[in-house]
Structure 1
Amino acid sequence: MLISLAIRNVVLIEALDLEFGAGLSVLTGETGAGKSILLDSLGLALGARADSGLVRNGEAQASVIATFEPPAAATRVALLLADNGIEIEPGEPLLIRRLVKADGGSRAFVNDQPCSAALLRELGGSLVEIHGQHDDRGLLNPRGHRALLDSYGRCDAGTVASAHVGWRAAAKALAEARATVDNAARDRDYLTHAVEELRKFAPEPGEEATLAEERATMQKGARLTDDLSAVGDCLTGSDGGLAQLRQAARRLDRIASEEPLLAAVLEALDRAMVEAGEAEDRLAEAAEALSFDPARLDMIETRLFDLRGLARKHQVQPDDLAALRDEMDAKLAAIEGGEEHIAALEKDVAGKAAAYRAAAEALSGERQMAAGRLDAAVAAELSPLKLDAARFRTVVAQMDEGQWSPQGMDRVEFEISTNPGAPFAPLAKIASGGELSRFILALKVALAERGGADTLIFDEIDRGVGGAVADAIGERLSRLAKSNQILVVTHSPQVAARGAGHLLIAKSSDGTVTRTGVHALDDAERREEIARMLSGAEITAEARAQADRLLERV
């Protein structure tokens, strides 16, 4: 529900702060007083196009702040805010602020968090419905008629939506399978040859690195073999260093007792022989580690060359050849078993399409029954609104299969015929503004208890009518106000008398500056305003008496 509206520097409005209550609030005033400016200001806050012409002359910017009751959890408004990352504390009012600059451009905020104009329009459509003679969005827009009928008839499209998701997913899987088989079939010969070649070669992940490392080790052994052999000869041959050390040690051992210093020399030779022995052992181990088989080296080099050649041929890394083989093998398998697989997918698609059709046809049946009830409900409202000759119908027609959606296979549109024998036509095609306004009211009354925005605004819906028709309009607006907040701009005293609150819109001028203001009327002021609406510029005693009778009756 709309709680308040703060307007600054919008056309003739310098500064205006309005508060609204529940039920029916009426806005009256003389023609040209600025009622349209007030609605334009609210429309701005609800996401209407920002026109710099709305900025009051001489001001840098205009601003509008609309405050609404805190959105209840899990409602469309709450979910919409959450989906767009706008956080509102529980119990916190919803505050929408729109700024328009005189030099162009605008900004929008929800509870001081920036938001796009597109989000503002979507949010505004969930908060407030504005109905007027030239409204091309609400009830006049056929795109929303299906949702309105579903809401009225409690028609649940959830089963249809789920069936549609399953059907489309199966159809997508079938299309992808067909494309895969078609593409693979064109390459059958190439795939057969490539898979056979890769199977025969049997590449393994990591094989390139293993072969390269083994080859490097063998190549190093081949390079060092002669040096190791020469070093071995120096150490272990009959004339090698170790043999010479041992011969020297034996001779010293025989004569070491002759001179104390020779004993120290013998000890040093013993240590040298131990070290030389260890060196001999390590040399043997190194020779063993670096030993190689020329045939093995040749085989490794050939394998490594062929592995890298295959990788270049298929434009992959050597380690990816095994995966490529499996992928090509799978494509061949798809060709060989493709027809059988496609047949199974076609059967799945047919089954899910049938399930969707059955669910959609059941939903269509629900819509047809709801349409009949809605037509009867609207028809009951037409006679009191002096639309006795008019007829209303809800058209539920099946669309082409290409247009079927998660919401079903139906096109829904409200149509009317205003004269006996006249063909039915869409609501938007009605020529008479007064008739169209009354049709909208009748339809809205019929739909009143079936959801929608909490706040409804009717802009001069009583234009061109009076007397009993105006009274019938007022009675229906009052009935709507029991479940919704209603704001109505009216020139009819019969409608104005029904209001729980009454705002007077007036224009004033000091000779240089013209301003539009809004004043909340008390009981006495309200009586005078209704009397003015009855009699014109000069308020007569008879008009006041008639105003009293209107107020007492409601």
Structure 2
Amino acid sequence: MLQELSIHNFAIIDELSLSLDKGLTVLTGETGAGKSIIIDAISLLIGGRGSAEFVRHGEKKAEIEGLFLLDNPNHPCYQKAEELGIDIEDGMIVLRREISTSGKSVCRINGKLVTISILREIGASLVDIHGQHEHQELLNPALHLQLLDEFAGKELEKAKMSYQELYEQYVKTKQRISQLSENEQEMAHRLDLIQFQLNEIQSADLQLNEDEKLLNEKRKLSNYEKLYEAITTSYDGLQGEGKGLDWVGLVMSYLETAAELDSEYEPVYKNVSNAYYMLEDAARQISGEMDTIEFDPNRLNEIEARLNEINLLKRKYGQSIEEILEYGAKIEEEIETLTHKETRLEDLEKKLASIKQDLLLEAKNLSNLRKKWAETLTEAIHHELKQLYMDKTVFEIRFLPVEEDTFHKDGIDQVEFYISTNPGEPLKPLAKVASGGELSRIMLALKTIFSSHQGVTSIIFDEVDTGVSGRVAQAIGEKIYQVSVQSQVLCISHLPQVAAMADTHLYISKETDEGRTRTSVKPLEYEEKVKEIGRMISGVEMTTLTKQHAKELLDLAKSIKQV
């Protein structure tokens, strides 16, 4: 859910902070007070199109920030954030967007700079804004199959995974056949190229970690004089008459005498004795190293030449010797395939035919499951429409004809939602339903069903109740509340029936101060709700009858919520 929203210097809003709760939040107020501006701000926050015109006059930039809480540990936002390298701690995700007067946007998710496309991708999984005149997800035929699959749930998901595993093999095999069936001349050129590359890699006779060993040896040879001086000086300081070992040996001898006279000196004698023998052993090792250290300028030249050869191969075939060898193995396999292309093609064609046969069975099983769930979904939508006084409306999920054996990543089906709102009228695609009032109710019926399947944390309805009244308005209010049980809902409304159903009622107003207009938001208590709902019922004048009607609406809403 969207818990906190902060807006600065956006349109007529100078500074606004909102704390939002679960359930249904209704925003009401006079026309032009700034209700839709708040929704516009949220739209920009989740990746909507920005413009310098949104920046409040006289300011340098507009800033919008929102804190979202993710209650569901399996929310799709987690996976998307992980893919993008964004950390989500304690189920909190903060979106931030700044728009300057130059039109430039700066987007951040949990403090990390992101592109507008990434912000839009994350935002789409958090908020769904539905306005009366917008082309929404439910009106997009390309997404109808996805919505049907989400409604079907785990039963269909399992069948879909089985299909997609085979589909991936099918696509890869087709691609391999296509590659082997390319122009003969191009294939010959390709074979010559990779054969040359393989010869170059094999003739180098590379060994794993060879470059690291050569660099170490090069470092020793390049610093021969410093190394030799350090070793010989160390040895000279330890070994010889009057040097380190002689003095330590003398101290050891005196301490041995002291320890024989007083046992308290036994520990320090042992420490010095151990140190002497360790130093003696070190002197022997240094002496051995002195015999092996020698400067060979020819060897240094050999190392330089070998490293240059390895670096040249790295520039061509990989960033490490391991990657070069892996590339060599890969093209060696490709050479084998191209050399015996006809045989390989025949094998791949047989493999493809076998996969295709299995894939068709999985696809038909998936399609049959979809048709079964389509019937269930159709019944559910008819039920919702009936509650919205559209009992004459006919809804249908059509499986569109496709070419035989035309597979795609989701199966062989193409579906689209069709509807007829009047008896005797033909069914038409949902996207072509024109009436604003009817479209609002249809969309609300679909939202009621799909909101629990889509995982969106917040749903915003921007004046979707326009063009309705009376009992339909009451039904819409109840239906919006029903959606809010599954997802947080923010709703701009001019209907008192919808406002009465609110768990939180925010009143939006504007005022003029020192020649500037600014928007403010006030949460309403019970008596204030009565007054505002009364204003929505009768307009400006508040009569005793209007007040009584407003209280009746609130009492009715309370009783509906308790059911």
TM-score between both structures, scaled by the size of structure 1: 0.71
Poorly superposed stretches of 4+, deviation over 6 Å: 180-188, 204-207, 327-335
Shift of 1:512: 1.9
The CA deviation string for residues 417-452 of structure 1, in whole angstroms up to 9 with x for no partner, is 122222222222111111111100011112233233
Match of 2:63 in 1: 63
- Name the CA distance, whole Å, in 2 between partners of 1:72 and 1:472: 30
The CA deviation string for residues 126-165 of structure 1, in whole angstroms up to 9 with x for no partner, is 0011112122132112222111110101221211211111
How many correspondences in the alignment?
Answer: 421
Contact 2:76 2:455 in 1 (8 A): no
Contact 2:419 2:430 in 1 (8 A): yes
The CA deviation string for residues 308-352 of structure 1, in whole angstroms up to 9 with x for no partner, is xxxxxxxxxxxxxxxx9xx999979967x6544432221110111
Q: 1:459 to 1:177 in 2, by over 3 A?
A: same
Q: Does 1:93 align with 2:89?
A: no
Q: Does 1:115 align with 2:118?
A: no
Match of 1:48 in 2: 48
1:146 corresponds to which letter in structure 2?
L
Shift of 1:172: 2.1
Shift of 1:95: 0.9
Match of 2:476 in 1: 473
- Name the CA distance, whole Å, in 1 between partners of 2:427 and 2:385: 16
The CA deviation string for residues 80-115 of structure 1, in whole angstroms up to 9 with x for no partner, is 1111111233x1521111000012201011121111
Q: 1:106 to 1:62 in 2, by over 3 A?
A: same
Contact 1:62 1:101 in 2 (8 A): yes
1:524 corresponds to which letter in structure 2?
E
Match of 1:11 in 2: 11
- Name the CA distance, whole Å, in 2 between partners of 1:445 and 1:187: 57
Q: How does 1:260-271 map to 2 (within 5 A)?
A: none
Contact 2:360 2:405 in 1 (8 A): no
Match of 2:464 in 1: 461
Match of 1:353 in 2: 356
- Name the CA distance, whole Å, in 1 between partners of 2:86 and 2:113: 9
Report SS of the residue matched to 1:552: helix
- Name the CA distance, whole Å, in 2 between partners of 1:333 and 1:514: 74
Contact 1:184 1:331 in 2 (8 A): no
Match of 1:28 in 2: 28
Match of 2:77 in 1: 77
Shift of 1:31: 1.7
Q: 2:423 aligns with which of 415, 420, 423?
A: 420
- Name the CA distance, whole Å, in 2 between partners of 1:62 and 1:332: 62
Shift of 1:390: 1.8
Q: Does 1:538 align with 2:541?
A: yes
The CA deviation string for residues 358-401 of structure 1, in whole angstroms up to 9 with x for no partner, is 11111111111111111111111212322233211112224346
Q: How does 1:31-430 map to 2 (within 5 A)?
A: 31-70=31-70, 72-89=72-89, 91=90, 93-154=92-153, 155-156=156-157, 157-179=160-182, 338-400=341-403, 404-430=407-433
Q: 1:334 to 1:181 in 2, by over 3 A?
A: farther
Report SS of the residue matched to 2:491: strand
Q: How does 1:514-525 map to 2 (within 5 A)?
A: 514-525=517-528
Shift of 1:552: 0.9
- Name the CA distance, whole Å, in 1 between partners of 2:334 and 2:131: 64
Q: 1:469 to 1:187 in 2, by over 3 A?
A: closer
What do you get for the CA RMSD once the two structures are aligned? 2.9
- Name the CA distance, whole Å, in 2 between partners of 1:116 and 1:412: 33
Gaps of 5+ in 2: 193-201, 206-327, 558-563
Contact 1:181 1:334 in 2 (8 A): no
Q: Does 1:496 align with 2:495?
A: no
TM-score between both structures, scaled by the size of structure 2: 0.70
Q: 1:2 to 1:184 in 2, by over 3 A?
A: closer
Shift of 1:186: 11
2:47 corresponds to which letter in structure 1?
G
Larger radius of gyration: 1
Report SS of the residue matched to 1:482: helix
Gaps of 5+ in 1: 191-203, 208-323
Q: 1:97 to 1:205 in 2, by over 3 A?
A: closer
Report SS of the residue matched to 1:481: helix
Identity %: 36
Contact 2:507 2:522 in 1 (8 A): yes
Report SS of the residue matched to 1:410: coil
Match of 2:310 in 1: none
Match of 1:505 in 2: 508
Which shifted more, 26-35 or 504-513?
Answer: 504-513
- Name the CA distance, whole Å, in 1 between partners of 2:511 and 2:333: 87
1:137 corresponds to which letter in structure 2?
Q
